[in-house]
Amino acid sequence: MSSYANTDVQIDVFSTQGISDAHDKAYLRTSPEFFHKRLLASGFGDLFEIAKVFRQGEQSGRHNPEFSMLEWYRLDFSLADLMNEVAELMLHLLALYDHPKAQVTRISYRLLYQQYLSIDPLQLGRDELNSLCQEKGYYGDRLTFDQALDFLFGVVISTQLPKDELIFVYHFPASQAALAQINPEDNQTCLRFELMWQGIELANGYQELTDMNEQMTRFICDNETRKKIGKKVLPFDQHLLDAMGAGLPACSGVALGLDRLLMNLLEVNTVSDVLPFPAHSA
Amino acid sequence: MSTYSTSQFKNGLKILLDGDPYNIVENEIVKPGKGQAFNRVKIKNLKTGRTIEKTFKSGEKVDGADVMETAMQYLYTDGEFYHFMDPSSYEQFEAPFAAVEDCVKWLKEEDICTVVLWNNAPLTIEPPNFVELKITETDPGVRGDTSGGGSKPATLETGAVVQVPLFVPEGEVIKVDTRSGEYVSRVKK
C-alpha cells in the first residue's frame, strides 16, 4: 500500500482510506516497482520480491484482480542481459516441470509485425493502422495509434505465435515506454521487452529510466491522458522522484506473473485453476 | 432500445451489429499488462447462421437485439409460409422458408418448436430435440434379424431420410434425435 498511485493509463488502481491525515487516500500497489527503485537508489543492490499486487477490473481466464508477481532488479544489466537471465530461469523451470526444452526466440517489436502482418508498425499512420484493424475484425470507434498496435499484438499476432517457443519481443515503440529508457540508437523505440509463452504475456522488463525529470514528465503526461479520457487524475509518487533525484543506479528490472507461469507450467487453462480463492469466489 | 457494455458480454447475449441480430457464443478478454483491453467475441448471425469473430474495445457499448425465444406449435405450410402459433396467446406467426430451411425436414404439424422472434417476426426455428415420425418408404427388412448388425435408409413422412436398423419396417413410427439426425427407437402405438 502507498500514499501515491501508479498513474499508468491502462492500469486501474484500488484505493482505500488514507494512511495518515496527510493523505485522503491510500492505494494498493499494482506492482512493487516504485518501492524497489527507492531501495535501489538507497544502495540496496540487486533485489527481488514475490509480491501480491492488485489491479482493478482485471478479471478473465488470464487475469485476477489480486495476483502474484515476481519482480527483480539487476544493477548494470542491459536489456539483453536481463532477457538472458529470464530465459535461463524459464528453461530451468520448464525442466523442473518436465516440459520439453523450448526454443528461445528473440525478435524486435518491429520485426514481429513485419513477420506476422507485413507492416512496419512505426511507419504506418493512424488511418492505415485503423483500416488494418478493421480488416482483422476490430469493430468500433477509431483507435489511437497505441490502441491499434495493442489490438494487432494482443488479438492478431499473439494468437499466431508458436506455442512451444519462449518468445522475447523487445524494443517496443517509444510511445509504450512506460518506465523504460528510450533506445539511444533509435528514438522511435524503447528498451522494453515482453516474454510470450504459449500465446500468453508472462513477463515485462525494462532497462530502467533513471532520469528524474523524464520520469516526472511521464507521470504528468499520464495524468493529462487520464483527464482526457475521463479517468481519475492520480497523485504520482513523490518519494520515487526524490529517490531518482538522489540517483537511481543503472539497472534493468522485470516483472513476471507467477499465476500465469504456474498455469502454463501445470498446463491448465485459467488462472482460477491455480488460485485457491479466485476473484469470483473471494 | 437496450444497450450493453462489453463488461456485460456473456454467452447467449443477443446484440445488434450493422442492422443484423447476433448471438454471442464466445467472449474472451484480451488485456495486455500495459495496454488497451479488448473483448474478442465469436458471434453468430441469427439471420444467416454464420459465425464470425469481432473485437471490441473494452468499455464500449453495443445495442441489444430484441430477440426472444418462444415455444410455439407448428400448424401448417401454405407452400410459401410456415405458420406457427403461440399456445398461450393463440397468436399466429408466419415464417418464411429461410427461417425453417435447416429444420423443415423435421417439422410435423402440431409439434412444439422453439421460434426465435426478432422484432416480433420469426427469425429461425428450432425443432424439438426428439420427433416421432412415420416411415413412408424403406426396403423390407430381414424379419427376425434383431441383432442390430446393419442399417438401411428410411424416408420419413416429412421427407427426411435416416438410417434405421434392418428390422424396422415401412409404416412404423420411429423416434429421431433432430440434433444428430439419428434413429433412437421404435415408438409403440
Band of residue B119 on the pLDDT scale cut at 50, 70, 90: confident
User: How many Å lie between the alpha carbon of B118 and the closest alpha carbon of chain A?
Assistant: 23
Q: Is the pTM of this model over 0.95?
A: no
Nearest to A139 among B28, B34, B55 (CB): B55
- Selected for mutation to probe chain A from B22, B30, B42, B58 (highest A CB count within 10 Å) is B30
Please write the tens of the pLDDT for every residue from A98-111.
Answer: 999 999 999 999 99
Q: Would you state the pLDDT for residue B98? A: 86
Band of residue B157 on the pLDDT scale cut at 50, 70, 90: very high
Nearest to B31 among A60, A137, A255 (CB): A60
Please write the tens of the pLDDT for every residue from A153-163.
Answer: 999 999 999 99
| Residue reference for cell 498511485 | A5
Q: Would you state the pLDDT for residue B49? A: 82
Determine, for residues B32 and A153 on separate chains, whether the beta-carbon distance falls below 8 Å.
Answer: yes
Nearest to B40 among A10, A63, A155 (CB): A155
Greater confidence (A163 vs B148) lies with: A163
Does any CB of chain A come closer than 8 Å to the CB of residue B185? no
Exposed (0-12), middle (13-18) or buried (19+): which is B86, by Cβ within 10 Å?
Answer: middle
Average pLDDT over residues B77-100: 94
Q: What is d(CA B96, CA B110) in angstroms, rounded to the nearest whole number?
A: 18
- DSSP secondary structure of B74-106: EEEE-SS-EEEE-TTT--EEEE-HHHHTTTGGG
Helix, strand, coil percent content, chain B, rounded in steps of 5: 5, 50, 40
Band of residue A18 on the pLDDT scale cut at 50, 70, 90: very high
Say yes or no to pLDDT of B140 above 90.
no
User: How many Å lie between the alpha carbon of A37 and the closest alpha carbon of chain B?
Assistant: 19
Backbone phi and psi for residue A56, each to the nearest 5 degrees, phi listed first:
-70, 140
Mean pLDDT estimate for chain A: 96
Say yes or no to pLDDT of B166 above 60.
yes
A-to-B residue pairs, Cβ atoms closer than 8 angstroms: 71
Q: Which residues of B touch A147 (CB under 8 A)?
A: 35-36, 57
Band of residue B102 on the pLDDT scale cut at 50, 70, 90: confident
pLDDT > 90 in chain A, percent? 96
Handedness of CA B96, B99, B103, B108 (dihedral sign): negative
Q: Would you state the pLDDT for residue B24? A: 95
Say yes or no to pLDDT of B144 above 70.
no
Beta B121-126 vs B161-165: how paired, if at all?
A: unpaired
Average pLDDT over residues A36-49: 98
Determine, for residues B57 and A154 on separate chains, whether the beta-carbon distance falls below 8 Å.
Answer: no
3-state secondary structure A151-211: HHHHHHHCCCCCCCEEEEEECCEHHHCCCECECCCCCCEECEEEEEECCEEEEEEEEECCC
Nearest to A154 among B17, B30, B56 (CB): B30
* B181 Rama class: left (phi>0) / alpha (psi -120 to 50) / beta: left
Q: What is d(CA A181, CA A189) in angstroms, rounded to the nearest whole number?
A: 9
Mean pLDDT estimate for chain B: 91
